[in-house]
Structure formats: structure tokens, C-alpha cells
Amino acid sequence: MNNRIPTSLGKPLLSTRFIGLVQKLKFLNKSILKWGGIMRIKSVEAKLYQVPLNGTYTIALGSMTQVEAVIIRIRTESGLTGLGEAMPFPPVTGADAEATLAFVRDLAPALQNYDASELGGIHTIMDKRSAGYSAAKAGVDIALYDILSRRARLPLYRFLGGSNPQVQTDITITIGSTEVMAARAKSFVEQGFRILKIKAGLDPGEDLAHLRAIREAVGPDVELRIDANQGWDEKTTLWALEKMTGLGIVEVEQPLPCWNLEGMRFVRERITQPLMLDESVHSPVDALKAVKTGAGDIINIKLMKCGGIYKAQKINAIAEAAGLSCMVGCMTETRIAITAGAHLAAALPNIKLADLDGFMEIKDEGCARGGFTRNGDILSLGSEPGLGVNVDFDAL
Ligand SMILES: [Mg+2]
């Protein structure tokens, strides 16, 4: 009989099949763990990363030529990896990079054996350790969302509920001489940027001269936002905006000190432009206070201020329910955190503006690649699962 398996050949064949079956089951088990099952955190690593800037970055809160980030890598037992970035800016976020690094390294053992999907529990652990360290919390949070969306095999913006991968960003003109600011503004417009955010708040007379020169340089069609970074008081704000009449200022961001919500309401009732809150709103609680006070029309959400995407969504929900819109802003972040911000902006319809230009201030764009491509002022997110950002973490 031709279809009869000879006994001498049958046993080895069966053994081979059995081994093959066991191997397949092992692979299947690993795949189930990786893509459908638990995502138990195996390790949380953090490294300090020195980030040189293209030049001197000056705003009303200070000048800098270099910043320091903490790059975070979280790995799960099933083999998934998430990348995060903490970019502290001490005048706003409190802790510096050294303290941020220490916070994450101290936190790491407490996160082991948590599931990466337990965002609420992990944020509770972080908040119980300290009310501050928002940048450190953001870095951990971004890495967790990278893991969750990778597991879901979706780009993060789609994991968060979005459908359009494109985000329009403004570009920031930092404080300098009138000639330099006007030249930079013109250059950015020539590169395709249609919205300029002009930094102000050191000297109101000079701010006025800067705005006039920039408008002259870029023509009438470019939108101008102004950000005084808490540098003015109520009278100065009203004086400056009166003098800037006709210059086409479309939004005014945080003219007064962060604590002065009553003053922001006073100004808001007397100007025609929407008033944006930045340093006044770090947390969902701050957002609620601002809403109750009537202190602004727009909230600038920054992942480094609020502690990441989990809290950012809460701030946006409070704003949306109260009839305020949101912007996603940034620090001088690498492509890791900028990409996370862009995914957030792409995902939530109430986030109507984006200020995601920080990576352009960084020399050679720093350690991270990918995430999005930029065409003029449009950031187009990729189709890879997760953030879609690549970093050679071991080489940092
Ligand atoms: Mg601002």
C-alpha cells in the first residue's frame, strides 16, 4: 500500500511534528502575550540627554542655549517597548533634569509588575510621590501610551480616537533685536509657516516695535499670536494691545503672572482677541479654576506641565464642556514628546490649535527620528503603530 507509513520512518516523523507543534504553541503564546494579553512592566529606564539648541532662546522667563531632557524606555515582559521624554523647564515645571531623572529612577521599581494599561493606577502612584515632577510624569505617561497603541497596532492618534493625521503648527519667534526677529519671521513664512507666535513681555515698548516690524516684513496674510509669558500687568496689557490695533493680533497668550486669574478675567473683558491661558493651567484642577473665574478663552495644554496624555485629556474635557477650546503647546522638546503632542492634537477635535515647533530649536533635531514629516507648517503623522519615533536608547 502506497499510503501506509513505514514504522521505521513514522516515529521520527511524529517526533518532528510534535516538536514543531510545541514551537508553534510557544510562538503563539508569545504573540498572545505581546499583542492581546498582559503587558506587565518589566523595566523602566531613564537617561539624561543634553540637547544643544540652534542659538540663544530668549523669552520673558529667561534665556538658554542648551536644555536637558530625560529619555525614558519602558519594556514589558511580553517584549513591547515604549519611548517617552521628560523635558523639564524649571520656571514652569519646577524640577530640573537631574531631579527629574532621580524621580523616574526612584519610581521605576514601584512600576514593575503593573500592567502598562493601568494608567489611572500608575498616575496615582506618581501623584502620591509628589505634587510636582510633571515632566517626569509626562515622560512615563508618553512611554505607556506608546506601548498601548503599539499593542493595539494603531498610530497613537487613532488609538486616542482621531482620524486625521495632519496638524498645522505655528512657529515661535523668540525675543531678540527687532531686525533679527523680523528677518526670522520672514524666513519662516518663506518656509511655509502661516501662523507666527511672537514672544513678548520683557519691554512693552520694544514688544510694540517688534510686532510692527514683523507685520511689515511678513505682509498682511500671516496670523500673528503674541505670548508675553507672564511679563505684563493688566495696564501694560491693555496699553500694548491698544497700541497694536491694526497689526492683526489674533490671540493673546498669558500676559499676566500665572496666579492672576482675576486679572486675566479683567483683561479678557476689555480686549477683542481670545485670551489664552498657559502657565496658569497645569492640571485639570487649574483648568476648572480658570473656567470658574472666566479667566480665558483657550487653554494651552503642554504635556510637560500636566503630566502627560492621560491628564491632558481631562483638561481638554473640562475646557470643552465649558465652551473653551485648547491648543497643544510644547517646551523645546525632541521629536519624542513633540510627536506625542501632535498625536494628541490630531486626536481631539476640541484641540483647535498647535504650537509644536520646539524640535526646530534643537541642533540637528537631537536624538530622535521619525514620528512625523513636516511640509511647511503641516506635521503629518506616520502610519506605524505607537508614536512611530526611533531612538538609539542604548547609545544615549
Ligand atoms: Mg506660552
- For residue 53, how many other CB atoms are within 10 A of its CB? 16
Which three cell numbers, joined as nine digits, stand for 205? 515698548
CA of 91 relative to ligand 1 center, distance in Å:
12
With 0-12 / 13-18 / 19 or more C-beta atoms within 10 angstroms meaning exposed / middle / buried, residue 2 is exposed
Amino acid 354 reads: A
Cα–Cα distances in angstroms (integers) from residue 280 to residues 42, 91, 291, in the given order: 37, 13, 11
The residues annotated as belonging to the active site are 199, 227, 253, 278, 302
Residue-level pLDDT at 7: 44
CA of 41 relative to ligand 1 center, distance in Å:
35
Q: What is the pLDDT of residues 111-160, one digit of tens each?
A: 998 999 999 999 999 999 999 999 999 999 999 999 999 999 999 999 99
Looking at the DSSP assignment, which residues form a beta bridge with residue 326?
A: 299, 351
CA of 136 relative to ligand 1 center, distance in Å:
20
CA of 335 relative to ligand 1 center, distance in Å:
19
Q: Inform me whether the pLDDT recorded for 11 exceeds 60.
A: no
- HEC string of 94-154? CCCHHHHHHHHHHHHHHHCCCECCCHHHHHHHHHHHCCCCHHHHHHHHHHHHHHHHHHCCC
Cβ neighbours of residue 117 closer than 8 Å, sequence gap 6 or more: 39, 148
CA of 92 relative to ligand 1 center, distance in Å:
10
CA distance 139 to 100: 10
CATH class of 158-395: alpha beta
Scanning the structure block, which residue is given the C-alpha cell 514628546?
A: 337
What are the residue boundaries of the structural domains of the chain, listed by start?
A: 41-153, 158-395
Q: Give mean pLDDT, residues 297-318.
A: 98
Contact (CB, 8 A) for 346 and 166: yes
Question: How are strands ordered across the β-sheet holding 275-277?
Answer: 171-173, 195-199, 223-227, 249-253, 275-277, 298-301, 325-328, 351-354
Residue-level pLDDT at 35: 55
Q: For the domain 41-153, what is the CATH code?
A: 3.30.390.10
| Cα Dmax for the chain | 103
Q: What is the pLDDT of residues 47-101, one digit of tens each?
A: 999 988 988 888 888 888 889 999 999 999 999 999 999 999 999 999 999 999 9
Scanning the structure block, which residue is given the C-alpha cell 500687568?
A: 233
Contact (CB, 8 A) for 379 and 356: yes
Residue-level pLDDT at 73: 98
Per DSSP, helices labelled H in the chain are 7-31, 90-93, 97-111, 119-129, 134-151, 156-159, 178-190, 204-218, 234-243, 261-268, 284-293, 303-306, 309-321, 335-347
Q: What is the pLDDT of residues 312-371, one digit of tens each?
A: 999 999 999 999 999 999 999 999 999 999 999 999 999 999 999 999 989 888 889 999
110: closest CA among 46, 44, 48, 47? 44
**Reported pTM:** 0.90
CA of 225 relative to ligand 1 center, distance in Å:
10
Cβ neighbours of residue 265 closer than 8 Å, sequence gap 6 or more: 293, 294, 295
Residue-level pLDDT at 29: 57
With 0-12 / 13-18 / 19 or more C-beta atoms within 10 angstroms meaning exposed / middle / buried, residue 14 is exposed
Handedness of CA 47, 48, 54, 59 (dihedral sign): positive
CA of 63 relative to ligand 1 center, distance in Å:
15
CA distance 184 to 196: 10
CA distance 38 to 115: 7
